[in-house]
Amino acid sequence: MKKLLVLGVGNILLMDEGMGVYAVQEFWKEKEDWDGSLVDFIDGGTFTQDIFYLFEEYENILVLDIVRAGHEPGTIYSLDEEDLRQNEKQVLSLHDIDLLDSLGMAEMRGNRPRLKVIGIEPEKINWGTEPTPALAKALPDFMEVARKHIRAILAEKNG
């Protein structure tokens, strides 16, 4: 079992909706900087429960996605599974329900990884294959927050 799956989710045909995927694509460029025996970076696209089986193979899942919470575009959020379940006013992308369901399915099959979401507030979701200028500018900060979480998870001694 690997320590960490970094899962970028979103639709790259809908502008800012693709930020999680854009981030994972950037991490692929840094592949040599990460220990492949501990961490995988996967483009989850428009994540569905069809890939829940991936969760069985990891101790931790770090999801990169958009979060619509009404703040300035580019605002970055760090959320735990409890935040996803308890904060009904925090409107996440459509993927959050599938994520929670997938955790439950993985648990039924014998392994429930810990979930963390790094989210970014979108500016615009509409047809287009590029993020808005505001989110393109925020991508390096989004990546750095994700890097810090990845390093912290990989440094943990157990679980």
| Mean pLDDT for the stretch of residues 76-86 | 83
Locate the domains of the chain by residue range.
2-155
* Claim: this prediction has a pTM higher than 0.75: yes
Question: DSSP readout, 85-148?
Answer: HH-TTSEE-THHHHHHHHHHHHHHTT---EEEEEEE--S--SSBSS--HHHHHHHHHHHHHHHH
| Mean pLDDT for the stretch of residues 52-61 | 88
What confidence score (pLDDT) does residue 95 get? 55
Cα angle 29, 31, 37 (rounded to 5 degrees) comes to 160
- Of 31-35, 61-65, 79-83, 111-115, the range with the lowest mean pLDDT is 79-83
What confidence score (pLDDT) does residue 150 get? 98
Homologous superfamily of domain range 2-155: HybD-like (3.40.50.1450)
Above 80 in pLDDT, residue 112? Answer: yes
Question: Does residue 89 or residue 148 have the better pLDDT?
Answer: 148
Token pair in block for residue 40: 């995988």
Question: Does residue 83 or residue 29 have the better pLDDT?
Answer: 29
86's CB contacts (< 8 A; 6+ apart) are none
